Chains A and B, each alone.
Chain A
Amino acid sequence: MIAELGHLLAFLALATAAAQSVLGLTTGGEATRRLAVATGMFTALAMLTLIISFVRLDFSVALVAANSHSQKPLIYRIAGAWGNHEGSMLLWCVIMSAYGAAAALWMRADRLRDRALGVQGLLTLGSLAYLLFASSPFLRLAVPPLEGRGMNPLLQDPAVALHPPFLYTGYVGLSFVFSIAAAGLINGSIDRDWAKRVRPWALTAWSALTVGIALGAIWAYYELGWGGWWFWDPVENASFMPWLVTAALVHSLIVTEKRGSMAAWTVFLAVLAFCLALLGTFLVRSGVMTSVHAFATDPTRGIVLLIGLAIAGGAALALYAWRAPKIPPGPEFDPVSREGALVLNNLFLSVGAALVLVGTVTPMFAQALNVSLSIGEPYFQLTFAPMMAVLLLFMPLAPMSAWRKTELKPILRRLAPAGILAVIAGGFAMIVGGWQPWLGFGVLVGVWVIAGVVLDLVRRAGPGGAGRLFKLPLAVWGMTIAHIGIGLFVIGATAETVTRSERTFPLQRGESATMQGWTFRFDGVRQVEGPNYNATRADITVTHDGRTDVIHPEKRIYPIAQSGTTEVSIRKTAWRDVYVALGDTIREEPGVWRIRIAFHPLIDWVFGGAGLIALGGFISLTAKLRRRAPATDAAAATTPEATTETPPAGAPA
C-alpha cells in the first residue's frame, strides 16, 4: 500500500502545484501561501513513503528491487532512496517544493512573494509531471523478486550518501532564486527591496552547493583510489558553472541591495544560475558525455530535460529582454569604488563560468562532428587558474573600498603589511617546495587574500581592543570567513597540485618500499567479509621516524552488483596525507600486488577552505535572517527615501 500512497501523494502535489502556479500568478494571497505549503508537505511525505519502501526492502517496488539488497546496511538503504535516477528526481521535487513552502512561511506577504510562489509552482509542476509520467519511483513489479539487485557500490559511502541532498539543496535552490527573479521581472520591481529578499535564498543555495561540491571532491579523493579531488571532469564542471555564477550573484546582490546599482545585471545572473543548473543536470543525466562520475544516464531523459531548459530559460530570457530596459540604472558611482571592485569580481567570475562551459561542451560538439578532442586539466590549469589569480590579487582591495568613490592610496598603504607577508611566504614556499614558481605564486596569492581580509577586519573593529571584533555585524564575519576559506583553498590547492608525489610499487609479501623517508612493508593480503561485499585487505607496516603503524588498504568486490571499490588507507600528518591504495595483482603473478603510495600535501586545506567558504555563506545568511525584524521589512517596503533614517533593526548598538 505504501508505494501507492506515495504515488497518490505525488499526484496530490501535482494538483496543488498546478493550483499554486495559477493562483500565485493571478490573484495571489493566502490561498497561494497555503497551497505552497501543501505542495511541500505532499512531496516530502511521498519521499517518506519511498524511504519506508527502501528500509522495509519491499522488492515489489521496482525501484527498490533494482537498487537495494537485504544485505545492505540500514543507512545505505535510506540513502538508496535517492541514489538512483527516479529517487533523485523525487528528491529534486521535494527540495524544489520545500523552497516554495519555506518562502510561503517566511517571506513577507506581497505580490513579489505570490508571483515567486506562482513561478515556483510552475517549475514544481513541470518536475512532478516529469517524475510521474517519465520516471516514477512508485511502480510495482507484477512478480516481486526474492532479492534486490543492490546498488552501485561506489555510492555506498557516507560522503556520497549526503552528497545529493546538499548538491540538490544548492542546485534546486537556484530554482527559487530564478522564481523571485521572474516574479520581480513580471512585477517590474527589480529594486533594492527585491535584492534584499533574493539574497538569503541565493546564499542558502550557494552555501549548500559549496558543501555538495566539496563532499563530491572528498569522495573522489578517498573512494576513486587515485587521490585526485578535482579533475575538471564534465560532471564536476556541471556543478561548478552554477557555483561560479551564483558566487557572482551573491556579490552583485550586495551592490543592488546597498546602492540600487547593477540591478539589471543582477537579475540576469539570478536567471542564468538556474539555467546553468538545468544545463548541468542535462549534461550529467543525458549521457552526452563520458565521465567517471556519470550515473543513471539515459538519452530520452536528456531530451525532456533539454525541453524543460529551453522552456524555462527561453521564457525567463524573453521576460528579461522585455523588462530589463525599464530597470533604472541606480545611483552613479566612480569606477574606483566598492561598486567598481564588485563589477570586477563579476567580470572575472562570469568569464570563468563561460570558460568552464566552453571547455566542457566543446569536446561534445567535437564528438558530434567526429573531431577527436579532449579538454581537461592542462587546459583549465592554464586558463582558469591565472584568471582567478588576477581576481584574487584584487580581492583584498574590495572590502576596504568605500562605496561610490574610494581613494586607492590609503587602502594600498593599509594593505602593505599583507603584501610584504605574502611575498615572504611565497618565497619561503619556493625554498621549501623546491623552486616551483607556481607554488610560490599560489602561496603568495593565498597569503595576500588571508592577510588582506584580516587587516580589513582589524580596520573595521577600529581602535579599542579585540572586544570590538565581536560587535561587528555577522555579515562582515561571514564575508571574512568565506574569504579566508578562499585563501586557504588556494594555498592548499596549489601545494597539492604542484608538489604531490605518487608512485606505484609492485610488491611481494615481505618486500618493502621506501618513499620520502617512509617505509612500507607489504605483509600480504587476506580475505575479509563485509555485510554485502568481500574484501581483499592488505596488511602494510608503515615506519616513519621510528614510529610503526599497520594500515589496511582494501579492494572490495560487491558480488550482487558485480563491481568493486578501492578503500584507501590515509595517514594524516601535520602537513600532508600519506595515501596508500591497493592496486591489482600483476597479470602473470598473483603474489605480486601493485601498491600505490602518494603524498598529498595540504589536502586538508583544500577541503577545510571549501568548508569555510560554505560556513561564511551560512553566517551571512543568519545575518540576513536576524535583520528580518518586522520594522526593517516594513520600512523597506516603502519608498527608498524612507529607509534612510531607519536604524538597522537587530543590529547591536
Chain B
Amino acid sequence: MTWLLLLAFQLGVETPLADAQEEARAQGLMREIRCVVCENEPVSQSTADIAVDMRRAIRKQVEAGKSNNEIRHFFTDKYGQFASFRPPTEGFWLLLWAFPFLLVGGAAAFLGMRAFGKRKPGLKPLPDDGRGPLEG
C-alpha cells in the first residue's frame, strides 16, 4: 500500500503544469537552478533524484504564483548562491554584470575620441581588388 502511494507520488513528479506560460517559466528556471549533487548541470538536465525533487519544487512554486526571484531565493537560501547559475544582481556583483559593457564602452569611447580627434580631412578611399597588399 505504501509503495502504491509512493508510486502515485512519484508519477506526479514530472507532470508539466497545465498553463503553458507557467510551464515555460518553470522550464526557464530549471535551466538556471543548479543540480546540487551533479558535476555542472542545471536541474533541467539531470536525472538525479534530487533534481527531480527540485524540478517538482520549482513547478509547485510557479503554480503557487511565486515570482522568479522568490523561487531563485528559495534555492539560494537553502544551498547558497552556488545553486543558481545566475550570479546575484545586487551590490558588488553588479560589477560582474556591468564590466563587459563598461569595458567595451570605455574602450570604444577612448579609441573613438582619439581617432576622431586627430581625424584628417585629406584621406581618400583606396580601391581594392581583394588580392594583393595595398599601398598608399
Question: Would you call B133 and A405 a contact (CB within 8 A)?
Answer: no
Question: Would you call A387 and B126 a contact (CB within 8 A)?
Answer: no
**For A458, what are the chain B residues with a Cβ–Cβ distance below 8 Å?**
none
Question: Would you call B47 and A196 a contact (CB within 8 A)?
Answer: no
**For A588, what are the chain B residues with a Cβ–Cβ distance below 8 Å?**
3, 6-7, 10
Complex CA gap A443/B133 in Å reads 36
**Residue among A228, A332, A405, A473 having the largest count of chain B Cβ atoms under 10 Å:** A405
Question: Would you call B125 and A291 a contact (CB within 8 A)?
Answer: no
Complex CA gap A228/B81 in Å reads 23
**For B32, what are the chain A residues with a Cβ–Cβ distance below 8 Å?**
376-378
Among A91-99, A446-454, A499-507, the stretch that binds chain B is A499-507
Question: Would you call A405 and B47 a contact (CB within 8 A)?
Answer: no
**For A351, what are the chain B residues with a Cβ–Cβ distance below 8 Å?**
100, 103-104, 107
Question: Would you call A331 and B132 a contact (CB within 8 A)?
Answer: no
The chain B residue with its CB closest to the CB of A371 is B81
Question: Would you call B81 and A374 a contact (CB within 8 A)?
Answer: yes
The chain B residue with its CB closest to the CB of A652 is B131
Complex CA gap A641/B104 in Å reads 37
> B16-73: which have CB < 8 Å to A?
16, 27, 31-32, 34, 38-42, 44-47, 49
Main SS at interface, chain A? mixed
Contact string, B1-15, partner A, CB cutoff 8 A, digits 1/0? 001001100110110
Question: Would you call A644 and B135 a contact (CB within 8 A)?
Answer: yes
**For A135, what are the chain B residues with a Cβ–Cβ distance below 8 Å?**
none
Complex CA gap A402/B130 in Å reads 11
**For B46, what are the chain A residues with a Cβ–Cβ distance below 8 Å?**
226
Interface residues of B (CB under 8 A from A): 3, 6-7, 10-11, 13-14, 16, 27, 31-32, 34, 38-42, 44-47, 49, 80-87, 96-97, 99-101, 103-104, 107-108, 111-112, 115-116, 119-120, 123-136
Interface residues of A (CB under 8 A from B): 192, 196, 224-226, 228, 231, 233-234, 257-259, 290-292, 294, 331-335, 337-338, 340, 343-344, 347-348, 351-352, 354-355, 358, 362, 371-379, 382-384, 387, 402-407, 460, 472-473, 475-476, 501-506, 583-584, 586-589, 592, 594, 627, 632, 636, 640-641, 643-644, 646-648, 651
The 7 closest A-B pairs by CB, nearest first: A376-B85, A372-B80, A402-B125, A226-B45, A335-B115, A378-B86, A403-B126
25 contacts between A and B (CB under 8 A): A233-B40, A258-B134, A259-B133, A292-B38, A332-B123, A334-B119, A347-B104, A354-B103, A373-B81, A373-B87, A374-B85, A377-B32, A379-B86, A387-B100, A402-B125, A404-B125, A407-B125, A583-B47, A584-B47, A586-B11, A587-B49, A588-B6, A636-B133, A646-B132, A648-B132
